Each structure stands twice: as C-alpha cells, then as structure tokens.
Amino acid sequence: MAFPVRAARYQDRAEAAQVLLDALPPLTNQKIVVIALPRGGVPVAAPIAQALGAPLDVILVRKVGAPGNPELAVGAITGSEEEDLYLNIPVMRAFGLSRTEVQALAKKEFSELTRRRDTYLPGQAPAPLEGRTVILVDDGIATGSTVRAALHAIRSKAPEKIILAVPVASSEVLSELQKDVDLVVCPEPHLPLGAVGAAYQSFPQTSDDEVIALLRSACDAAPREPN
C-alpha cells in the first residue's frame, strides 16, 4: 500500500526562522546569545538574533575521523582547548583508542577550524556564554552528531540555560538530545523522508559569502558585550 509523501513544512529558511521565533517561549530579562551551526543554520539564526536583540555567533564542528576510515567519527572538535574535544565513546572503543590518541588525531583539524573561524568572524573572539541563555540554532537535525558536539562545547562554558531551537528534526534524535539541554523547540519533530531538505520547498546550499554577510550585519546590529 502506498502512503502519501508528507508535504514540505517550510517555503525556505526565512520562513522556518519566523516559525521558530514564534515558537520560542518569552525570554524577557535574560542575557541571550544566539549560536548558529554553519552554514545552513546561520540564515535561520540571524533573524532570531535580530528579533531578540541578541548577539549572533557560530560554533564550528570538525569531525575527527577514525584511523583508516576518515568518514567514521571517533570524535569532533569545536575549538583549540581540551574541553573542546567531543568523544564518540562507542566508536573509540571499537577502534581501541584512548583519549590521548584521539587528541593526536584531532590536531590536524585545528588549523582548518581556525581558518574557518577567521573566514566567518575575522579577529572576533567567541561570545561569552557564562551565565547567559544560549539558543543553539540549525536548519534541521538528522543524526544529531554535530549538534551533540556543539552542545558539549556550549555546556563547558557554564551558560545559565541552553535552548536547542531547530525547525525540523528526527523525533528519535530529539528525545536523545533533551537530556543535554534545558529546552527543545522544534515545530516539526518529524523528519520527512529522513532528510532535512525534504522539509523545505527551497533548500539551496548556503554559501560562505552569505554566512559572512549575515554575521557582519548581526555584529553591526548587536555589538558584543565585553567579557
């Protein structure tokens, strides 16, 4: 028996941002930082940061590939500090790797992470998160591996609260991620056809130039607070 394909939920990322913004709870009297996962998360996060009058930052995640199988992640890095290394424990154990060995594998990824940060936000330090309400935004979640690494890094910076805000995601993955955040906001918790793009009528790849322009505009509109 054939079942009808679920129609796309959003026209594009701009509409998804508005729907997501409407779904957020009241956030008055809170110091808010909006953090996007590039590249596709930035066009969703930028209108939210603008509407909330909050600074917009990005968190970059680089996969650390397993020996002989670089597509299989034994971990991920989100920065240059030791606490910025996220470990995929089951895969580590399968390969018999220690934390020190994964750290050694991660070293080659640091330069690319730094290059990308400098491309998107040249000369700009990450926004301070301690004591803030952090809203982590992406355009959708399929497997959740990148989001897990990002949440690990954000939690290490001692925020007051973490809100995971995504327009669409797998319900199974969302249930797993709930323990890592204070609140999940997801208007469409059913991933159509198992792919984020299927939730959008228009889902073009976001370019580096678009990311840079959005971040520059957000920075001009909401200057960062000093540490």
Whole-number Å distance between alpha carbons of 65 and 102 = 9
Residue 7: which pLDDT band, with cuts at 50, 70 and 90? Answer: low
CB-based burial of residue 172 (10 Å sphere; 0-12 exposed, 13-18 middle, 19+ buried)?
exposed
Q: Average pLDDT of 199-217?
A: 95
73 strand-pairing partners: 65
| pLDDT tens-digit readout, 170-190 | 999 999 999 999 999 999 998
Question: Given this model, what pLDDT does residue 225 score?
Answer: 55
What are the φ and ψ backbone dihedral angles of 155, each rounded to 5 degrees? -60, -35
Whole-prediction pTM value? 0.89
